[in-house]
Amino acid sequence: MGEVVKDLTAGTVGGAAQLVCGHPFDTIKVKLQSQPNPLPGQPPKFSGAIDAVKQTLAAEGAGGLYKGMGAPLATVAAFNAVLFAVRGQMETLLRSQPGAPLTVGQQVICGAGAGVAVSFLACPTELIKCRLQAQSAMGDSGSVGATVKYGGPLDVAKQVLRSEGGTRGLFKGLVPTMAREIPGNAALFGAYEALKQFFAGGQDTSGLGRGSLIVAGGLAGAAFWASVYPTDVVKSVIQVDDYKNPKFSGSIDAFRKILASEGVKGLYRGFGPAMARSVPANAACFLAYEVTRSSLG
C-alpha cells in the first residue's frame, strides 16, 4: 500500500475519532464566541461554559451538543486525509534519505504546509458548522432554541449560495481560517514531534507506547489552540456575521471592535471549552492515526 494511501486512510480514522470526542466542546466554544453583547445592565445570555451546557441541554437535549456535526462529519474524511497526506508528502520532500527521521523544525514546516492545503476545506465546513452552532446563541434572549434560521447543513449551504454571493459566500472568513490553520498546524505537528522525541529520548520514536502517543497528541492539540485562539474567535464572528447588515467590515475590523468593546478577554471567549476539547480530541486523533497507519504496514 502506498504511503499516500496509508496517510489518507489513517488520517480519516483519526479525524473521525477527533470529531466524536471533541464536538460537544466545540459547540459550547462557538456559542460563547458568538453570543451577542448584552444590553447595559443586562446579564450575558451565557454566564460561562457550564451555563451554556445547562441551557443547551435544557432546551435542546443532548443532541444540541452535537448540532452542526453533519458538516464536519461529511467532510472529516477529506479534511484529515488531506492534512495528513500533505504533511506526509512534505516529510518525504524534506527527508535527507528514505526513512530518515525529521527534526522538530522540519515537522513545523510540514504542519504549516498542511495548514495551507486544509484551509480551503476548513473554511466552508466551519462556516456551516458555526452557523448551526451559533444560531440559538444569536437570539436576543429567552430560550436557547428560540431562533431557528437553518434546518441543517444543506440548508445553510443553500441559503448562503442563494443569498450571500454564491460560492464566494461559503468562503467567508478564509483569511482568518488560514491565519488559524497555518500557524496552528505548525504548532500542532511541531509540538507532537518534540514531545515524541522527548519521551523516546531521541529521534527514533517508533517504539513509543500508546500512553506516550496519547499524551503527546493531547498536548500538541493544546499547543494548536494556545497559539491561535484569538484568530479563531475572529473567524467565528466573521462567519456568523449578518450578510445584509454586517457588524464587521473584515478581520482587522472585527479584531479592533472586539478589543474595544471587551478588551483582551473578548478574544478568549470560549477558550476553556476549546482547551478542554483539544486534549482528548487530539489525543484520540493522533492515537487512531498512528495505530491505523501502523496496522497498514
Return the higher-pLDDT residue of 152 and 197. 197
Q: What is the largest CA-CA distance in the chain?
A: 65
**What is the per-residue pLDDT for 40?**
81
**What is the per-residue pLDDT for 144?**
42
What domain range is 54 assigned to? 3-295
Q: What is the pLDDT of residues 147-176, one digit of tens each?
A: 568 888 899 999 999 999 999 999 999 999
- Environment class of residue 30 by beta-carbon count within 10 Å: exposed (0-12), middle (13-18) or buried (19+)? buried
274 close to 280: Cβ distance less than 8 angstroms:
no
CATH number, residue 77: 1.50.40.10
**What is the per-residue pLDDT for 141?**
42
Q: What is the pLDDT of residues 268-281, one digit of tens each?
A: 988 988 898 899 99
Q: Residue 69: left if φ>0, alpha if ψ -120 to 50, beta else—which one? A: alpha
281 close to 25: Cβ distance less than 8 angstroms:
yes
**What is the per-residue pLDDT for 80?**
85
- Mean pLDDT, to the nearest integer, of 94-112? 91
255 close to 266: Cβ distance less than 8 angstroms:
no
Give the integer Cα–Cα distance in Å for 225 and 39: 30
**What is the per-residue pLDDT for 145?**
44
- Mean pLDDT, to the nearest integer, of 38-51? 83
- Mean pLDDT, to the nearest integer, of 170-194? 97
194 close to 217: Cβ distance less than 8 angstroms:
no
For the chain, how many structural domains are there in total? 1
**What is the per-residue pLDDT for 71?**
64
Residues with Cβ < 8 Å from 26, sequence gap 6 or more? 129, 133, 273, 274, 277
The three cell numbers of residue 83 are 492534512
**What is the per-residue pLDDT for 159?**
95
**What is the per-residue pLDDT for 143?**
42
Return the higher-pLDDT residue of 136 and 220. 220
Residues with Cβ < 8 Å from 175, sequence gap 6 or more? 250, 251
- Residue 10 banded pLDDT, cuts 50, 70, 90: very high
| 36: DSSP letter | P
19 close to 27: Cβ distance less than 8 angstroms:
no
The three cell numbers of residue 150 are 437553518
- pTM attached to this predicted model: 0.82
Among 61-75, 134-148, 174-188, 240-254, the range with the most confident prediction by mean pLDDT is: 174-188
In this predicted structure, the answer to whether residue 116 has a pLDDT above a threshold of 50 is yes
Q: 10 Å Cβ neighbour count for 37?
A: 13
In this predicted structure, the answer to whether residue 142 has a pLDDT above a threshold of 50 is no
Give the integer Cα–Cα distance in Å for 90 and 283: 23
109 close to 183: Cβ distance less than 8 angstroms:
no
| Arithmetic mean of pLDDT over the chain | 89
User: What b/e string do you get for 235-248 counting C-beta neighbours within 10 Å, with b at 16 or more?
Assistant: bbbbbbbeeeeeeb
In this predicted structure, the answer to whether residue 38 has a pLDDT above a threshold of 80 is no
In this predicted structure, the answer to whether residue 27 has a pLDDT above a threshold of 90 is no
Q: What is the pLDDT of residues 199-244, one digit of tens each?
A: 999 998 989 999 999 999 999 999 999 999 999 999 999 999 989 9
